């Protein structure tokens, strides 16, 4: 079978066929970061393969070996936790008691160092998870921007705290304080961006962290370990490699984690919470799965709607928590919509991530093509049809997006978050059908509403706003821009993320209170003038 689906000229034979700038170098990385030291791992290593097939040393085509990373055990994982605990030092650590200004300096130093690794990280994003070149570049740049935006947001937040308040005869100096030790786990679809959107706000607020990269998209973290080591005090960021079972579970079991920060599946989040013995100690910052619907009203502009639905359902092959995972289309326009949408899907360019204008790319999870095929088989055995010509064409690392119609609740595709290239279309007669389905769903992240008659759209927005957390009007669902709140109802999220909200999610309001009398006021004033406390300070960061 060929690596590339009927795309002339794209068949890959050897690494030499790949433009030099995108050719991978094997990277066997045997280090990890604990207590400010880059330690060498002497144990088992796990090989990292790309699902992109090239010719191997024996002249056979197969997944490309990209390198290896430590397959770490529970013992070093617990040492990493100990190191994070030591750096927090029950609130006494240098990092949690440091002036905000100094923490921001550390973060700025990190961002400057990180920028030097753009090329390597972008190349690894393409090879490890098959993200196309422009989206890989966007992921890197968006992450760096997120760090700089975080610096600004924290400055603003801190500026507001540089003062005393007085109510009911009590002076109060209110700030946001860290929560403690954070276990940070990110997803494979945004292995850099989404992980850092947890890790960066977590540490800048004064927490310390243990971080384990996702299973796919792991080598791309390795160039950044040194930057973490050089930018932050020892133990603030600890980075491990390996399986969640051997690393995350034993850490949670200790009961010493204060925040579980995870973007991934709710089943992993629940399993990890279950390990923690002190449920109320554990705070949660979770971005979980979703089944965002697109609802197309009879008067929607179909050209525009199809364009947004393509980007919503199939950007990065549908492997986004925010992807449109089901389309409800009014029966009066369904035939026209299906025709236009299927044609648009069949016109998408499939190829290797660095090829020009490529939209569809190989899937990183080896089992995904078969999983999608099983969803197709299940739906077609219950009455749905694949309505686009190329739908379901398969290779070892890909399956061409399949548009399934009509889908109903007897099919697995109706219920499961497919996270891949398959699009269920459900016809509706009465708008209450999609509304009821949204209300009954386990998920509640976002919706896309397509239409133009405000007398219809207005009341629908009012209802949908009570079922999800973002109503996208004639626009695909998405997380960004990162200043907007990213969250979800039900099984889709716990806590809110955005540049600003993440700073709140990883901290708690704490204040120093003092009754208004001459004795206390004199002490407060001399405290402020003395610089003895980093918390009680009217330091204004410009
Ligand atoms: O996987 C879920 C991501 O948060 C989606 O982000 O909408 O920017 O692709 P995005």
Long-range contacts of 524-528 (CB under 8 A, 24+ apart): 524/164, 524/171
State in Å: Cα 199 to ligand 1 middle.
17
Residue 521 has which token pair? 């006021």
Residue 322 has pLDDT above 60, yes or no: yes
* CA triple 372-374-377, angle to 5 deg: 115
Q: pLDDT tens digits for 169-225? A: 999 999 999 999 999 999 999 999 999 999 999 999 999 999 999 999 999 999 999
Q: pLDDT tens digits for 498-531? A: 999 999 999 999 999 999 999 999 999 999 999 8
Residue tagged 């405290």 (tokens): 527
What mean pLDDT is predicted for residues 36-41?
98
CA dist 386 to 206, 261, 370, 539, Å? 52, 39, 16, 63
Q: State the Cα torsion 247-253-257-262 to the nearest 10°.
A: 50
Residue 6 has pLDDT above 80, yes or no: no
- How confident is the model at residue 149, as a pLDDT? 98
Cα–Cα distance, 265 to 491 (Å, whole number)? 9
Pocket test for ligand 1, best of 194, 195, 311 (most atoms within 8 A of CB): 194
State in Å: Cα 381 to ligand 1 middle.
32
Pocket test for ligand 1, best of 261, 322, 480 (most atoms within 8 A of CB): 322
Q: Which residue's alpha carbon is nearest to atom 6 within ligand 1?
A: 479
Q: pLDDT tens digits for 376-409? A: 999 999 999 999 999 999 998 999 999 999 999 9
- How confident is the model at residue 13, as a pLDDT? 61
- The percent of residues in the chain predicted with pLDDT above 90, rounded, is 92
Residue 1 has pLDDT above 70, yes or no: no
pTM equals: 0.96
Element (H, E) at 112: helix 100-115
Q: Residues 6 or more apart from 166 whose CB is under 8 A from it?
A: 172, 516
Asked if residues 239 and 247 have their Cβ atoms less than 8 Å apart, the reply is: no
- How confident is the model at residue 5, as a pLDDT? 47
Residue 291 has which token pair? 């089944």
Residue 114 has pLDDT above 70, yes or no: yes
- How confident is the model at residue 12, as a pLDDT? 54
What mean pLDDT is predicted for residues 18-28?
94
The 8-class DSSP code of residue 365 comes to S
Asked if residues 438 and 461 have their Cβ atoms less than 8 Å apart, the reply is: no
State in Å: Cα 427 to ligand 1 middle.
27
Which ligand 1 atom sits nearest the alpha carbon of residue 194? 4
Question: How buried is 515 (Cβ within 10 angstroms: 0-12 exposed, 13-18 middle, 19+ buried)?
Answer: exposed
Element (H, E) at 404: strand 402-405
Work out the mean pLDDT of the chain and round it to a whole number: 95
């Amino acid at each position: 079978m060929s690596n590339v689906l009927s795309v002339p000229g794209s068949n890959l034979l050897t690494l030499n066929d790949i433009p030099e700038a995108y050719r991978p170098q094997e990277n066997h990385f045997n280090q990890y970061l604990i207590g400010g030291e880059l330690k060498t791992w002497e144990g088992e290593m796990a090989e990292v393969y790309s699902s992109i097939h090239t010719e191997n040393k024996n002249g056979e085509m197969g997944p490309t070996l990209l390198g290896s990373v430590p397959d770490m055990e529970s013992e070093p994982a617990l040492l990493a936790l100990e190191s994070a605990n030591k750096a927090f030092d029950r609130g006494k650590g240098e990092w949690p008691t440091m002036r905000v200004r100094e923490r921001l300096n550390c973060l700025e130093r990190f961002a400057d160092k990180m920028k030097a690794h753009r090329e390597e990280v972008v190349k690894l994003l393409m090879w490890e998870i098959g993200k196309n070149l422009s989206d890989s570049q966007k992921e890197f740049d968006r992450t760096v921007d997120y760090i700089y935006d975080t610096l600004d947001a924290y400055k603003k937040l801190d500026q507001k705290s540089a003062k005393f308040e007085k109510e009911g005869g009590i002076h109060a100096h209110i700030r946001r304080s860290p929560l403690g030790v954070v276990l940070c786990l990110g997803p494979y679809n945004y292995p850099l961006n989404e992980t850092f959107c947890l890790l960066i706000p977590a540490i800048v607020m004064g927490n310390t962290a243990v971080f384990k990269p996702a299973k796919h998209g792991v080598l791309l973290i390795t160039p950044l370990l040194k930057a973490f080591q050089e930018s932050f005090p020892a133990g603030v960021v600890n980075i491990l490699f390996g399986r969640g079972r051997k690393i995350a579970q034993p850490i949670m079991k200790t009961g010493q984690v204060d925040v579980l920060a995870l973007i991934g599946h709710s089943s992993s989040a629940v399993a990890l919470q279950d390990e923690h013995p002190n449920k109320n100690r554990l705070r949660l910052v979770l971005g979980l799965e979703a089944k965002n619907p697109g609802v197309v009203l009879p008067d929607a502009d179909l050209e525009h709607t199809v364009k947004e639905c393509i980007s919503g359902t199939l950007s990065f092959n549908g492997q986004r928590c925010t992807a449109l995972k089901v389309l409800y289309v009014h029966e009066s326009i369904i035939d026209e919509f299906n025709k236009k949408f299927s044609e648009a899907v069949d016109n998408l360019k499939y190829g290797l991530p660095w090829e020009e204008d490529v939209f569809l790319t190989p899937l990183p999870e080896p089992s995904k093509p078969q999983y999608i095929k099983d969803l197709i088989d299940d739906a077609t055995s219950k009455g749905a049809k694949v309505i686009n010509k190329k739908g379901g064409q398969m290779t070892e690392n890909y399956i061409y997006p399949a548009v399934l119609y009509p889908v109903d609740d007897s099919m697995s595709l109706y219920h499961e978050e497919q996270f891949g290239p398959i699009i269920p279309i459900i016809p509706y007669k009465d708008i209450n059908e999609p509304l009821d389905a949204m209300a009954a769903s386990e998920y509640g992240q976002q919706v896309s509403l397509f239409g133009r008659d405000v007398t219809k759209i207005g009341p629908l927005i009012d209802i949908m706003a009570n079922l999800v957390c973002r109503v996208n009007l004639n626009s695909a669902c998405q997380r960004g821009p990162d200043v907007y709140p990213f969250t979800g109802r039900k099984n889709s999220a716990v806590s809110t993320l955005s540049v600003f909200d993440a700073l709140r999610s990883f901290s708690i309001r704490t204040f120093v209170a003092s009754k208004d009398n001459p004795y206390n006021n004199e002490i407060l004033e001399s405290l402020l003038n003395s610089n003895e406390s980093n918390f009680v300070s009217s330091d204004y960061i410009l």
